Amino acid sequence: MADSKFAAYICTGCGIGDTLDVPMLEKIAQKEGKMALVKSHPFLCSTDGVKLIEDDIANEGVTHLCIAACSRRAKVEAFRFPAAAVSRANLREGVIWVVAEGAEHDAVRQEMAEDYVRMGCAEIKKMKVPAGNVKEASSKKILVVGGGLSGMTAALAAAEAGYAVTLVEKSGALGGFANNLWKRVPFAAPYADAQPVGAAELAAKVSGHAKIKVHLNAVVAETSGAPGRFAVKIAQESGGMTDDVCGAIIQATGFTPYDPARLPELGGGQPNVVDQAGLEALAKAADGGPIKRADGKEVKSVVFVQCAGQRDASGQHLPYCSGHCCATSIKQATYFKDRDAGINAVVMYQDLRVPGMGEDFYRSAQDKGVTFVKGRAARVTDGGGACKVDFKDLILDEDTSIEADLVVLATGQVPNAGVNLDEWTATVTAAESGDEAAKTRKDELLKTSVLSLNYRQGPDMPQFKYGFADSHFICFPYETRRTGIYAAGPVRRPMDILQATEDATGAALKAIQAVENAARGRAAHPRVGDLSYPVARLEGCTQCKRCTVECPFGAIDEDEKRFPKFNEERCRRCGTCMGACPVRVISFENYSVDTVGSQIKAVNIPDEFEEKPRILILACENDAYPALDMAGIQRLSYSAFVRAIPVRCLGSVNTIWITDALNSGYDGVMLMGCKKGDDYQCHFVKGSEMAFYRTSKIDDTLKQLGLEPERVLSLEVAITDNARVAKLINDYAEQINEIGLSPMKGFG
């Protein structure tokens, strides 16, 4: 570290200089923080203040700097020095804005500020500027799996932006489910009539595009690697195998219509009862002429039964709504009405769901004479000549029936998402313990895989609810738990053609972003641009596998010797592995067991006679830490006995930090993370859950130390909890006061 030079800059603006003893802070930075250079400035974020720092970097060789000013979330642009490592001591939002005013608090306020300066100096001593992990010859090619409308759209979207694409389609032709359609729902004003599907035109564009290589009758036999370097084996049906290297993957494997045969009470499986796909086939066969049933009879009356096997609360069928079916049935009803206004077309629905401009299409069908009945179908009987639909009329509140030549069941979309990883993990575990049936099942499952990832965590993307490969995040719909792999179209969520087109275009962007990020060695969402990555000191590794198992993103494999094998390009830099590691061999250049541990140790612990407890807060930087900041912005005061350290994710908290803190005389530790469970809000999916799980196991350690279980408190804190967080702190300080100071003081 011969070339490192450490400096601390203390801002005296925003009231810091008026409230705190800055010369004392300078002295601490110098003497205790061991900073070679310590300067204060009345307005550090001003052009003048920033120039002071820049000059020191240029002329004094400063490489590491601690900025003691406002929160790390404020003035980010001003304090961006890409060539230097930077730590921030939060004297504004973290001290002067939250410690109650008045001279009686001067001492504790100053102590708090001094500790934050000590912590900032301690942290910067352990930080390095991350260099990134740039790989030579990173691939920017995009693999699209599935050649339906979504896949074709994604492929074309990426190609038109200049990226090479490999498209793999299982069947012998492009087009997917759209090939079965006679027409589609209108996408543009006046939203009046069904439109040509355009699948063949799109297929021709894709096939003819210079940047797209199409493999028909082919599947992905194996995928290994990571973003920027996925090695893909493409197996032809004929037996041939092609090797390809891609940077990112879009899974657009579409859906399978829910099998109407599973709805015998609605006539599923009877000759004159078809599903929506079946009706499309009849319309295609009619080719604009009269639509005929299988027995050749021209259809003069038709009933569409909506939500067939959908929105089902009984647990037998699909619990969700497939979204497109109302508009699809309206479209299909117009197939009849457009040809012959005399045909009786009835749509039987419970809630008609045609959002947006679909309302205009609905209106146009009403104008064309399509009948809409709010009713719940109870039974469909195919009498051969006519079908009878028994239903409850929800308007007249009575049971009644209607007859029709043909009944169309609007069944839902079932995603073609590949292997369910929950089942996979259970099967693999059973197979490893020698269960023969499980071994067979594992092979069967592998055959149904879409991506055939050779990841330790399983061959496909983790599924969200009901088998869809969707994101759990509202603000970030493309987030998956497999970096560089994105789902598009109905495999992600039930959707219509218009949405699938939008979705596939968006997925293409995310794939492009993934290859660009991988090429530059930087993280993907949500720590986008982060150049740090985890490094493991394998000589200390005990092969416990916790890091590989707990990584929410499947970034870590095991090598032949059963050591963890990090795939940096798959990593999201949350540090959950670092938190998991019992022997603490995993670290990032700028975030490690040491960068946080040294801050914990830097805090001055008063002896027990001073009656000044010290409470450590480890706060998720995404939600809890901003809430603490917001408490400051709103000038909500909280105990000056706390010392808060932001962490990348609560999942990165290594329990050694907690035990070290308690050993060195802290009186309590508060862990603040995001909501866990089904509606988790953790940006790294499992991080906060893992942290809660780990700290639940800490009681034994506390017992060994002779400490009360209350000394460690895990909390879910939302970003809007600014008032709550202040109260939680004050309540906890009060609780600590009641149970008394830690007996460990003076032993650290």
Binders in 221-250 for other proteins, by CB under 8 A: none
Closer residue to other proteins, CB minimum distance, 161 or 261: 161
What is the C-alpha separation between 11 and 32, in angstroms, rounded?
A: 19
Query: Which of 3, 104, 679, 738 is the binder for other proteins (CB under 8 A)?
Result: 679
Name the one residue in this structure whose structure tokens are 């590949």. 418
Phi-psi region of 184 (alpha: psi -120 to 50; beta: other; left: phi over 0): beta
Scan residues 279-318 and list those touching other proteins (CB under 8 A): 311, 313
Closer residue to other proteins, CB minimum distance, 335 or 349: 349
Closer residue to other proteins, CB minimum distance, 314 or 704: 314
Query: Which of 340, 720, 734, 740 is the binder for other proteins (CB under 8 A)?
Result: 720
What is the C-alpha separation between 220 and 232, in angstroms, rounded?
A: 7
What is the C-alpha separation between 391 and 401, in angstroms, rounded?
A: 6
Query: Shortest Cβ distance from residue 634 to other proteins (Å)?
Result: 7
Closer residue to other proteins, CB minimum distance, 190 or 264: 190
Q: How many C-beta atoms lie closer than 10 Å to residue 371's C-beta?
A: 14
Closer residue to other proteins, CB minimum distance, 109 or 510: 510
Scan residues 59-78 and list those touching other proteins (CB under 8 A): 70, 73-77
**Three-state helix/strand/coil letters over 475-504:** CCCCCCCCCCEEECHHHCCCCCHHHHHHHH
User: Under DSSP, is residue 244 helix (H, G, I), strand (E, B) or coil?
Assistant: strand
Does 676 participate in binding other proteins (rule CB under 8 A)? no
Torsion (CA) 673, 675, 677, 680 in degrees, nearest 10:
-110
Closer residue to other proteins, CB minimum distance, 308 or 428: 308
Segment lying near other proteins (by CB under 8 A), choices 255-263, 402-410, 579-587, 622-630: 622-630
CA 333 → CA 153, 182, 258, 355, 505, distances in Å? 28, 13, 20, 18, 30
Does 188 participate in binding other proteins (rule CB under 8 A)? yes
Query: Which of 108, 164, 231, 321 is the binder for other proteins (CB under 8 A)?
Result: 321
Both tokens of 674, joined, read 């995001």
Does 681 participate in binding other proteins (rule CB under 8 A)? yes
Report the DSSP beta bridge partners of residue 427: none
Does 394 participate in binding other proteins (rule CB under 8 A)? yes
Query: Which of 411, 449, 505, 532 is the binder for other proteins (CB under 8 A)?
Result: 505
Residue 234 in contact with residue 242, Cβ under 8 Å? Answer: yes
Query: Which of 416, 622, 639, 688 is the binder for other proteins (CB under 8 A)?
Result: 622
User: Under DSSP, is residue 366 helix (H, G, I), strand (E, B) or coil?
Assistant: helix
Segment lying near other proteins (by CB under 8 A), choices 12-20, 60-68, 531-539, 729-737: 12-20
Closer residue to other proteins, CB minimum distance, 406 or 512: 512
Q: How many C-beta atoms lie closer than 10 Å to residue 746's C-beta?
A: 11
Does 508 participate in binding other proteins (rule CB under 8 A)? yes
What is the C-alpha separation between 680 and 674, in angstroms, rounded?
A: 7
Does 359 participate in binding other proteins (rule CB under 8 A)? yes
Helices 276-286, 325-339: axis angle to 10 degrees equals: 30
Query: Which of 316, 429, 634, 696 is the binder for other proteins (CB under 8 A)?
Result: 634
Segment lying near other proteins (by CB under 8 A), choices 19-27, 103-111, 630-638, 651-659: 630-638
Pairing of the two strands 212-215 and 165-168: parallel
Does 157 participate in binding other proteins (rule CB under 8 A)? yes
Segment lying near other proteins (by CB under 8 A), choices 225-233, 561-569, 579-587, 623-631: 623-631
What is the C-alpha separation between 292 and 296, in angstroms, rounded?
A: 5
Query: Shortest Cβ distance from residue 108 to other proteins (Å)?
Result: 22
Does 677 participate in binding other proteins (rule CB under 8 A)? no
CA 133 → CA 226, 246, 481, distances in Å? 13, 18, 21
Our CA angle for 475, 153, 570, nearest 5°, is 50
Does 474 participate in binding other proteins (rule CB under 8 A)? yes
Does 400 participate in binding other proteins (rule CB under 8 A)? no
Does 137 participate in binding other proteins (rule CB under 8 A)? no
Does 730 participate in binding other proteins (rule CB under 8 A)? no
Does 668 participate in binding other proteins (rule CB under 8 A)? no
Query: Shortest Cβ distance from residue 411 to other proteins (Å)?
Result: 15
Q: How many C-beta atoms lie closer than 10 Å to residue 533's C-beta?
A: 21
Closer residue to other proteins, CB minimum distance, 230 or 468: 468
Q: Is the peptide bond before 494 cis (omega within 30 degrees of 0)?
A: no
Total chain residues near other proteins (CB under 8 A):
88
Ramachandran angles phi, psi of 398, nearest 5° = -145, 155
Scan residues 516-555 and list those touching other proteins (CB under 8 A): 516-517, 525-526, 528-529
Query: Shortest Cβ distance from residue 47 to other proteins (Å)?
Result: 9
Residues 99-117 as b or e (16 or more Cβ within 10 Å = b): beeeeeeeebbbbbbbbbb
Pairing of the two strands 218-224 and 230-236: antiparallel
DSSP 523: -
Segment lying near other proteins (by CB under 8 A), choices 183-191, 417-425, 535-543, 555-563: 183-191
Closer residue to other proteins, CB minimum distance, 213 or 520: 520
